[in-house]
Amino acid sequence: MHVLAKLGKLRKIDYVKHVTRYYSERIVILRDLRRLHQYHFGNGRDFTRERNSRLTRILGYAYDHCPYYRRIFTQVDLDLTQAINQLERIPLLDKNLIRKHYNEIVSSQLPRMVSSMRNTGGSTGEPLQFPSSGGFDREHQAFLYRIIGYKPGEKILAMDGSAIAQELTARNIYWTKKSDQDIPYGSMALSSLYLQENTISFYTDFIKTFKPTIIRGYPSFVNDVATYILKNRIKVKHPMKGIVLTSESTNEMQIRNISEAFNSKIYLQYGHAEASLFGYTLDESHEFFCSPFYGFVEVVNESGEHVKPGKLGEVVCTGFHNRALPFIRYKTGDLAFFSQDHHGIVRLKSVLGRTQDYIYGWNLKKTLLTALVFGLHYKAFANIKKWQIIQDKAGEVTVKIVKDAFFNSEDEEEIRSNFLNIADVRTVFRYVESIPLTPSGKSIFLIQNLSTATELCSHISQRD
């Protein structure tokens, strides 16, 4: 347990209290997740009352121990006994508010609890560091694997951004055994950081030799390997129970490629470093179920009001387990279509990506990149190895492309005309040999540098 590292910094009595509470809560979580598992296999239950009770408890804790929330709840006259009906009174929380009121949002009990620091926001350009008293991520991950059909002892391969020692990569070894603490996230890690044309064959050879039962990885990384497998007609013969795609937005093209290459069912997983939401899919509809034992999930419009079923909004979460810094009505920055709240389980028809995943035309018209790019099924996709879009000013984007030998002027024109006619955006093409990953090994498809209305209006006035 990571908690042991802080033993010397806490009074013994505080440490004992923490461990006792952790294990008692873990027993409850494991029981609840067994019931959730049974629910998905036909044993109908309604978790609404239990989920709402957890919401009330974290709100009560925040009122008692976080001055910011005590002040806010008092200002909006929040009745904690009726919180589920008054939740929209609580102002939405975002990274800027956390930075501004950090000392008031952090729990007064923080010096007496076991905690660690987490980071988030690297892919959005808005990093945030915050304390966490832990959650039950591992228990939820194991729950998802049981849904897939995992049995103890079967192999799980993590396709992520793990760093590999130089003496291994010098011998074309791009994988490493993970620590016991990383299980159930994967017993072996295959790293995206070293994937190149001259190394990818070693990746596919390792997968065929390792024979994982489940792969859990970044969609862009798994898709790159899948595309290579399909183009080279490589046969992955060992059966897999499932492939879990996580940590990045996923599109239908990637899902089709990966499913075909590995002859496996695809599951999607959705969550954040803020540990306030755990979403998972069960079938080919790829509709997300959000665990009622992890956090309270809303999908809201620009006014902070919950959207109707079938409508698009921003995902807002209230985490149940982080008492060090409670995230209450926290704006995740992700866009999703709300499906329903059934039996206490919020369901999202699809998660489209971040609110930053818009590009802007000269007239401030916003176009969702997922729809513009992946909804149109470009013929050019077949001739693009990798690409990235960068927007520094309204009405124009830079399109960086790693092209293959068959990419031609017709492919370029297809992209140019669609961006111009649909989004009112001019394209500038840059052809490159490679597109760098983030330090954690992820791909960023859109780098959106227009983050505020002021910046956008500035660009419009400059044009006029």
Tell me: do 292 and 440 sit in the same domain: no
What range defines the domain where residue 294 resides? 2-135+275-354
Would you state the pLDDT for residue 410? Answer: 93
Domain termination residue (choose one: 323, 354, 385): 354
Tell me: do 127 and 11 sit in the same domain: yes
Residue ranges in the chain modelled with pLDDT below 50: 1-8, 122-125, 452-461, 463-464
Tell me: do 350 and 369 sit in the same domain: no
Would you state the pLDDT for residue 377? Answer: 66
CB 335 within 8 A of CB 369: no
Number of domains in the chain: 3
- Angle at which helices 48-65 and 67-75 pack, to 10 degrees? 110
289 CB-contact burial (10 Å; exposed 0-12 / middle 13-18 / buried 19+): buried
Tell me: do 11 and 80 sit in the same domain: yes
Tell me: do 229 and 214 sit in the same domain: yes
Q: What is the pTM of this model?
A: 0.81
Tell me: do 9 and 129 sit in the same domain: yes
Tell me: do 41 and 90 sit in the same domain: yes
* C-alpha–C-alpha distance, residues 403 and 397, integer Å: 18
Tokens 């159930």, located at residue: 184
CATH number for position 328: 3.40.50.12780
Indicate the residue type of 313. Answer: G
* C-alpha–C-alpha distance, residues 137 and 294, integer Å: 9
The greatest distance separating any two alpha carbons of the chain, rounded to the nearest whole angstrom, comes to: 70
CB 433 within 8 A of CB 402: yes
SS3 400: strand
Tell me: do 178 and 99 sit in the same domain: no
Tell me: do 145 and 122 sit in the same domain: no
* C-alpha–C-alpha distance, residues 73 and 70, integer Å: 5
Query: Hey, which bits of 18-127 come out as E strands?
Result: 116-120
Domain termination residue (choose one: 271, 294, 325): 271
57: left (phi > 0), else alpha (psi -120 to 50), else beta? Answer: alpha
- What are the structure tokens assigned to 98, written together? 């956390």
CB 320 within 8 A of CB 275: no
Tell me: do 28 and 147 sit in the same domain: no
Q: How far is CA 25 from CA 19, 47, 93, in A?
A: 10, 17, 26
Would you state the pLDDT for residue 9? Answer: 62
HSE-up of residue 365 (Cα within 13 Å, Cβ side): 15
Tell me: do 34 and 159 sit in the same domain: no
Long-range pairs for 244-247: beta carbons < 8 A, 24 or more residues apart: 244/144, 244/148, 244/214, 244/215, 244/216, 244/217, 244/268, 244/269, 245/217, 245/218, 245/219, 245/269, 246/216, 246/217, 246/218, 246/219, 246/270, 246/271, 247/160, 247/218, 247/442
CB 289 within 8 A of CB 347: yes
Helix (H), strand (E) counts: the chain: 14, 20
- What are the structure tokens assigned to 459, written together? 């660009």
Q: H helices within 241-298, ranges in order?
A: 252-262
CATH number for position 226: 3.40.50.980
Tell me: do 51 and 87 sit in the same domain: yes
* C-alpha–C-alpha distance, residues 282 and 112, integer Å: 40
Domain termination residue (choose one: 330, 354, 378): 354
* C-alpha–C-alpha distance, residues 454 and 348, integer Å: 32
CATH number for position 439: 3.30.300.30
Would you state the pLDDT for residue 76? Answer: 96
- What are the structure tokens assigned to 40, written together? 């998905």
Would you state the pLDDT for residue 461? Answer: 41
